[in-house]
Structure 1
Amino acid sequence: MSEWAHRVETTPRLAQWRIDILSSTYRKSDPFKIGIWNWFLTVERNKQLFVKLYPEVSALTREQPPVASFVIKLISSSSSPSRKTLVHPGVSDKLIRTNEDFVWAVDTLFTGRFIVDVEFLDLKIVPPSGGEAVSIWSAYQIERHSLSTAITSLSRMLSDSILTDITITGTDGASIGAHRAVLAARSPVFRSMFSHDLKEKSLSAVDISDMPFDACRTFLGYVYGDFRADDFLAHRLALLRAADKYDMEDLKEACHESLLEDIDAKNVLERLQTAHLYRLQRLKSGCFRYLVNFGKVYEIRDEFNAFLLHADRELITEIFQEVLAAWKGF
């Protein structure tokens, strides 16, 4: 079989797969890119000819599957004017995730050379924020580009100290320049601070007395869209404190979600105390479940007993209520 037998030729919206001879009962194309997804075509010959079109399995397909509108045809490769063409009735705004979401069963068997011709009329995607699906070939792509460019420019304002007008200082005395307008837009606490005659406004300086500089830099990076995963993970607790202090609910929830993901015997008691202090109910429930339902409290008995000596009375009451509820469940 020729090395080109599985290749699909494409333009931005058109794909053509030329099949010389369907010598076996099944054939699958090489991946081809239309829009932001890689796609596959397959043909299978049984009592009918089955044609499938589907996107490649990937994180993108799982998170943002295509909503496709297209016309698909089977065209015999004969050069005569009477060459055979079969046209599917058409597909409009169909969500396609798997290789079973679009299957065309053709009664006529093509025995010679033929072409699978797919013309994409539109490809839509549901924005991460939800709502109606929008075309990737319309203003959506421009919007994404504009957003990406804006975030890059914003992060450069911080990294390159472009026209900074406020100084942020951490506990170790190190400082970094920032912008009042950006901080005020992200935090109502900063907005109030810079709108009233407080020392931060008159001195053009903010001392964040409970954050070392590295954590402070990570905090500002998040504010400016300069997100770095390793730094975020290293400073989650400091970021949570800052989010609570400066009333940044999006950052607080991001920390909450992250702290839920890696509860273990070494950190569960610290996480439990953190959850109680910052009213993170899902984190608290996750810690209770780890300790009580999965019986891990017995593996850290000494640490747990020491924890109870200093824990808040309300939290201790909740712990024993969880233990009693678990015992009743057996």
Structure 2
Amino acid sequence: MSRATIGQLKLQCLSCKEEYISDDAGTCKECYEEASETEEELKREIDDLKSKVAFLRFWSPFDTRNRSSFSDVVLVASDEFEANPVPVPAHKAVLASRSPVFKAMLEIEMEESRSGTINISDVSYDALRSFVNYLYTGEACLDEQMGYDLLVLAEKYEVKHLKTYCERFLVSKLNWDNAVASFSFAHQHNAKQLLESALSMITDNMDNLTKTEEYTHLVEKDPRLVVEIFEAYLSKQVNTAARDG
């Protein structure tokens, strides 16, 4: 390797640890070029994956660019607050490919299959529209309420990836104010990750639990869950004592 000139330093490459001569610290020319090639390769792979996703994704019937969606089924939200529910257009092939429940419903001669209308109970129009849009695009814009609503629909129609997505979102929004309600909700809808996270938060704050309205409501509504909370708390105390001992 040539000797350093004025203003240059003999440095050690941060990547390969070999010595090189340069004005700036960092990596040698060989490592820099190799890293650049790797970065370009990763960019090409990402672009390729994006192209495949775009190709495989069904266009949504809500896309305003599609003047005629050729939909062959509509879903109707039968929420008690929806006086005149707006039908949500969809395609039987998409529903059947995304949900085994819809598949079974549409394959046999049920009323929904014959009429082309599927009534979805206890759901708002916004939640139903968001649910159908997710079946087409794999995307959902969540807030806390929408996370709960879509998780319920995902469980009911066995859309596992959507349920997981909503559950992770709700775990990220856990706090003391919603921990008890989230624990009860998770129990009702078999959301294991949310249940464990909410239970952990509750047992870490047992001194405050009995002071909340949510606790009083839970005692009246489902006392077995209260028993489960105290059992988990006692188990945690025993394990802590054994570890400290």
TM superposition score normalised by structure 1: 0.59
Partner residue, 2:162: 251
Partner residue, 1:293: 204
C-alpha separation in 1, matches of 2:73 and 2:22:
72
**Is the Cα contact below 8 Å between 1:155 and 1:226 reproduced in 2?**
no
Percent identical across equivalent pairs?
Answer: 21
- 1:146 pairs with 2:32: no
Q: Which runs of 5+ in 1 are unaligned?
A: 1-20, 25-44, 53-101, 126-134
Residue of 18, 30, 46 corresponding to 1:105: 18
- 1:23 pairs with 2:1: no
User: Structure 2 vs 1, CA of residues 281 and 156 (structure 1 numbering), >3 Å: closer, same or farther?
Assistant: closer
Q: CA deviation at 1:164?
A: 0.7
C-alpha separation in 1, matches of 2:127 and 2:207:
31
Q: Which runs of 5+ in 2 are unaligned?
A: none
- Superposed, 1:33-48 pairs within 5 Å as 45=9, 48=10
User: Structure 2 vs 1, CA of residues 312 and 225 (structure 1 numbering), >3 Å: closer, same or farther?
Assistant: farther
- Secondary structure of 2:74's aligned partner: strand
- 1:266 pairs with 2:172: no
- 1:323 pairs with 2:236: no
**Is the Cα contact below 8 Å between 1:155 and 1:221 reproduced in 2?**
no
- 1:50 pairs with 2:34: no
Q: Which range moved further: 234-243 or 190-199?
A: 234-243
User: 2:184 is matched by which residue type in structure 1?
Assistant: Q
Partner residue, 1:169: 76
- Secondary structure of 1:324's aligned partner: helix
Q: CA deviation at 1:241?
A: 1.1
TM superposition score normalised by structure 2: 0.77
Q: CA deviation at 1:268?
A: 1.4
- Secondary structure of 1:162's aligned partner: coil
RMSD: 3.1
Equivalent pairs, count: 223
Partner residue, 1:65: none
Q: Which has the higher helix share?
A: 2
Q: CA deviation at 1:201?
A: 0.5
Q: Which has the higher strand share?
A: 1
Q: CA deviation at 1:326?
A: 3.9
